[in-house]
Chains A and B, each alone.
Chain A
Amino acid sequence: MRRIVVQAAKEWSEFRRDRLSLALAFLLPLATLLLFGSGVRLQAKHIPIVVRDLDKSSISKRLVDHLESSEVVAKARWEATDSSTAALCASDARAIITVPNGFGDDIEFGDPTKFSAQIDGSDITTAHVMKAVARQIGISASDAAKEGKDYEVEPDVQVRFNPDLKESLFIVPGVFGIVLFMYPALLAAVAAARESELGTVVNLYTSSLSAIEALMGKAAVYILVGLLEAALTLLSGRAIFGLTFASEPSLFVVATVIYLCAAVFFGLMVGTFARSQTVAVQATATGGFFPSLLLSGFVYPIANIPPQLSWLCLFVPARYYIDACRDAFLHGTGWTCAWIDPLVLAVFAAVFFAGAWWLMRPMQLDDAHA
């Protein structure tokens, strides 16, 4: 035990002396939180479009006004030319809505009529929105023409747990999952790789320290740093985005500690394997950052990932932690439902620890050799 503490103290003083790294270890999670928390909005707004009203009747004008009053679209600068497709390519407009000549007359006489929407499919998010907007205009124009619908089914929408659909309440628990995996793992990986890059790892081998003690000593420091980072992100999540617990936080606390252990052990494993800092960083980014960002359901639902890849999601620790976070901050079911998450995370932590130990062990000098 004492040897672990001494090892940890050495690691800590080394880390503390590097002021810039120390500052960044706490600045980075905060910056990431702010960036994702305020940067990710789920609905596109003010999409530039071009409206060509060839009809210029009062009905078509009403339609155009209706369109312009919505928050979703904004009118693009564009000079009227004949070839409308070229306009999509050249200007920043994402859709062209053309109201044909005779549109108003048709509606007044009750004839079926059409208007066209040409949408730039190269930007799929806005294309989806514009498709919905076009159909919505069609419906409201039909209603206006018929002066009331024949049948009306009125949806009464209730949103549970996050009634205003605030993005931050959805995104910020996810950011915890990314930040608290990425940065502790990165620090641990770089520390482990630095040791072999500078050759000081040989000192470790020749000392009487066992692989487990060396790992525990290093891990202790970065788990502690991770806990401080967790406290910092949690407090700023509360102060800036108004995130509060929906249930008692014991599950969240347990899950966080286990998750940090998993992250640090993952970093040590990668760092021991990599032997150079650059490689360690690339590997942590590829193995830690990208899966946490993409395969964890952080923004886009896991259900959207094609089946050939979705099995990969099972091996992303962030997925389970984000699940636990969303439960703690929004669902609030606590241990009854989310008990599985800390358990799975513990399995990850154990596997990563075993991996780091296994990689470090062969380099240890046997007593027979000594």
Chain B
Amino acid sequence: MPKCRLLNHRLFGLIAKETMQILREKHLLFLLLFPPTVQLLLLGAALDPGVHNSNLGVVDYDQSAGSRGLISRLMESKLFRDDHMVSDEQQLNKQIGRGQLAVGVVIPSNFEQQLEERHQAKVRIILDGVDAYTAGIANVQLKQVISEFEPLEKNEHKAVVPSISILYNPDLRSSWYFIPGVLGAMLTLTSTLVSSSVLLREKELGTLEQLLLTPYETWEILLGKIAPIFALLMCDAGVAVLTGMLVFGVPFRGDVGLFALASALYVFVGIGLGMMLATVCRTERQSHLVSFFVNVPVMQLSGAVVPFETMPKLLQDIGTLDPLRYFTVIARSLMIKGAGFGALWPDLLALFMFALALFCFSLKQFRRQLS
């Protein structure tokens, strides 16, 4: 027993030293807490994969009740904020070329006549392909609105009506979708950056040798370094979740303890990644550059920022090696759907394996480099 107490005592001293070292760096502390929150707010508010709020250019050569009906139906679809009446098609093309309008509709002069006589009419849609995102979505939705269009309130009831119910996020609020993923992305960035630079600083300044001369074991030194970073990052995660709930009204339907477990595992993965960078690089500059080499793909392939389903198959397969992917799945299902351990254990297990592998690798590397 006394041996165990001694061990605790020793580690405690080391942890206290590291904590003091981090706390003394006001800049670092600030950057550990402030940017993640800003990033979360930005991402939560800025990522919105829908088409609304763009302007529709309309050339109405017909000026009939039918053409006005079609225009008002298009505006009711909530795809657009304003309709801009444009005098002729040439003018419309010019405005699209300048990027002032993304979508234009041209209604020919015989629109209503054709519709009454032949029950068939044509309209032209012009899309600005430069903004392929808006164009792609507007294309599908406009076609749908137009094919549903029937003039003069005739035949109002459709034969088949889908009853659509959307679960968990009925208003389809984009911030609810993005915030859990962004939380993970933010943890990755901060944890790799801080853990690699804390280790490399000591290495670069040569003070790591001094630490090695003390009776501490390698793993004790590493643990001492990790403990305060770990505590700070867990605070980060907590602050981020609270921000998401307060500012964006993101629900938290799952178990808090399970979420804490997942976050803890993921923070370990991030720290492990940072430690691995520290063993690969010799200077801080190198580690920062390499960290972008690792972090950008990790964020991109995880589905945290760009939805997973929209990636090509090959990249989706590569994405299975991305630890952030599992955390994103866990955070999303836990917060939004309220999923429990039963549904999430494979992802938790994957995170655990990642953390274990990264730690074993870095520990081994460190031992080899230091002895």
Judging by beta carbons under 8 Å apart, are B54 and A303 in contact?
yes
The answer to whether residues A159 and B166 also contact, given A277-B288, A301-B54 and a CB cut-off of 8 A, is no
For B, the interface residue count at a CB cutoff of 8 angstroms equals 117
A47 at the interface (CB under 8 A from B): yes
With beta carbons under 8 angstroms apart, the residue of A149, A150, A300 that contacts B133 is A300
B336 at the interface (CB under 8 A from A): yes
Interface-lining segment among B124-132, B210-218, B255-263: B124-132
B367 at the interface (CB under 8 A from A): no
The answer to whether residues A124 and B123 also contact, given A41-B311, A115-B162 and a CB cut-off of 8 A, is no
Judging by beta carbons under 8 Å apart, are A162 and B45 in contact?
no
Bound-state CA distance A74–B306 (Å) is 20
Bound-state CA distance A283–B315 (Å) is 30
Bound-state CA distance A333–B94 (Å) is 10
B249 at the interface (CB under 8 A from A): no
A158 at the interface (CB under 8 A from B): yes
Judging by beta carbons under 8 Å apart, are A114 and B160 in contact?
yes
Judging by beta carbons under 8 Å apart, are A125 and B307 in contact?
yes
Closest residue on chain A to residue B118 by CB atoms:
A152
Bound-state CA distance A330–B97 (Å) is 9
Judging by beta carbons under 8 Å apart, are B161 and A303 in contact?
no
Judging by beta carbons under 8 Å apart, are A123 and B127 in contact?
no
Within 309-337 of A, Cβ neighbours of B (below 8 Å) are at 309, 323, 326-327, 330-331, 333, 337
Judging by beta carbons under 8 Å apart, are A303 and B53 in contact?
yes
Bound-state CA distance A122–B143 (Å) is 26
For A, the interface residue count at a CB cutoff of 8 angstroms equals 115
Residues of B within 8 A of A136 (CB): 144
Bound-state CA distance A36–B339 (Å) is 31
Within 1-58 of A, Cβ neighbours of B (below 8 Å) are at 18, 20-21, 24-25, 27-28, 31-32, 35-36, 38-47
Residues of A within 8 A of B343 (CB): 89-90
The answer to whether residues A139 and B293 also contact, given A89-B343, A115-B162, A154-B122 and a CB cut-off of 8 A, is no
The answer to whether residues A151 and B53 also contact, given A107-B159, A121-B168, A278-B197 and a CB cut-off of 8 A, is no
Judging by beta carbons under 8 Å apart, are A153 and B70 in contact?
yes
With beta carbons under 8 angstroms apart, the residue of B132, B197, B281 that contacts A166 is B132
A194 at the interface (CB under 8 A from B): yes
Residues of A within 8 A of B288 (CB): 186, 190, 277-278, 281
Residues of A within 8 A of B149 (CB): 151, 153
Bound-state CA distance A27–B296 (Å) is 13
B300 at the interface (CB under 8 A from A): yes
Residues of B within 8 A of A305 (CB): 45-46, 48
Within 87-139 of A, Cβ neighbours of B (below 8 Å) are at 88-90, 107, 110, 112-128, 131-132, 134-139
The answer to whether residues A158 and B283 also contact, given A116-B163, A306-B45 and a CB cut-off of 8 A, is no
A128-B172, A300-B46, A301-B51 known; 15 other A-B pairs, CB under 8 Å?
A: A21-B289, A121-B169, A124-B177, A125-B177, A137-B162, A138-B162, A145-B160, A150-B155, A156-B125, A170-B130, A186-B289, A278-B31, A309-B42, A309-B46, A326-B99
Closest 8 CB pairs of A and B: A162-B129, A121-B169, A170-B132, A44-B309, A122-B336, A304-B48, A286-B35, A125-B307
* Residues of B in contact with A (beta carbons under 8 Å apart): 25, 27-28, 31, 35, 38-39, 42-43, 45-54, 70, 81, 93, 96-99, 102, 115, 119-137, 139-144, 146-151, 154-155, 157-170, 172-174, 176-177, 189-190, 193-194, 197, 281-286, 288-293, 296-297, 300-301, 305-307, 309-312, 315, 332-333, 336-339, 342-343
What are 13 A-B interface contacts by the 8 Å CB criterion?
Answer: A36-B300, A44-B307, A113-B161, A119-B166, A121-B167, A122-B333, A122-B337, A127-B166, A132-B141, A153-B123, A155-B124, A300-B46, A301-B53
* Residues of A in contact with B (beta carbons under 8 Å apart): 18, 20-21, 24-25, 27-28, 31-32, 35-36, 38-47, 85, 88-90, 107, 110, 112-128, 131-132, 134-139, 141-142, 145-146, 149-167, 169-171, 182, 186, 190, 194, 274-279, 281-283, 285-286, 290-291, 293-295, 297, 299-301, 303-306, 308-309, 323, 326-327, 330-331, 333, 337
